[in-house]
Amino acid sequence: MIEYVTAGNTDDRILSRSAALLAKGGILALPLDTTWVVACSLQSREGIIKLRRISGERDERHFTLLCSDISQFGEFCALDNTRFRLIKRLSPGPYVWILKTLLGTEKALSLRRRELGVRIPNHPLPLDLIAALGCPLYAITAKRSMASGSPEDTVPAGVSEELPPIPEENLFDGGWEMEDIAGLDLILDTGEERPRIFSTILDISGPEVRLIRPGAGPWPV
């Protein structure tokens, strides 16, 4: 099912229905400032299980917590003044920040790692949806391999320090292309074709900033 919306002026009724769907364990696709993502509610264990099943992804570094402001990061991750200033300077934008998780976050998300990727996208639709839902979204980049039912082979967590860029041909242009993803309950489509680009992933969990995957956000800056 596709709901066509206007970015920056989304119908409140659509936002309410979308938030209710997520709260009940639903999965939806929506555009960010980079490309499309498939997402669930962070507070829905059923949704998280379904998202992992749809993605076929074993490496948890591919999953991202989408937040509406930096204060939400601090509910799940360790964030000091130095890291706060760096994130604030480059957010919202096409950057995923890898941070150390707080006690309890791994259990809540069934994580096998003590790190989590967080991001504030520079697009009004996900920010409006997060506000309507009342909690962050848990998301992964939408890929054509999800629709084919043949997920790509992935590197198990901990084997490689870097994540390879996602091949451009495996990214979606428009929302209608995702209708074949089994288990997807809703597509929120702004009618704009998204660029086939992905976010830059920066690990700031340690003393130095490490580039995990180059993308739309320049680094160093």
Return d(Cα 175, Cα 219) in angstroms, integer.
30
Return d(Cα 106, Cα 148) in angstroms, integer.
30
**Report field, pTM of the whole predicted structure over 0.95:** no
Print burial letters for 26-49: b (CB count within 10 Å at least 16), e (below 16).
bbbbbbbbbbbbbbbbbebeebbe
Q: Give 103's contacts (C-beta < 8 A, 6+ positions apart).
A: none
Nearest Cα to 143, choosing from 174, 184, 172? 172
Summarised one tens digit per residue, pLDDT across range 75-127 is: 889 999 999 999 999 999 999 999 998 887 777 676 777 889 999 999 999 99
Biggest CA-to-CA distance, the chain: 45
Cα-based distances in Å from 114 to 98, 102, 215: 10, 8, 24
> What fold is seen in the domain 2-213?
DHBP synthase (3.90.870)
Summarised one tens digit per residue, pLDDT across range 33-48 is: 999 999 999 999 999 9
Report the length, in residues, of the chain.
221
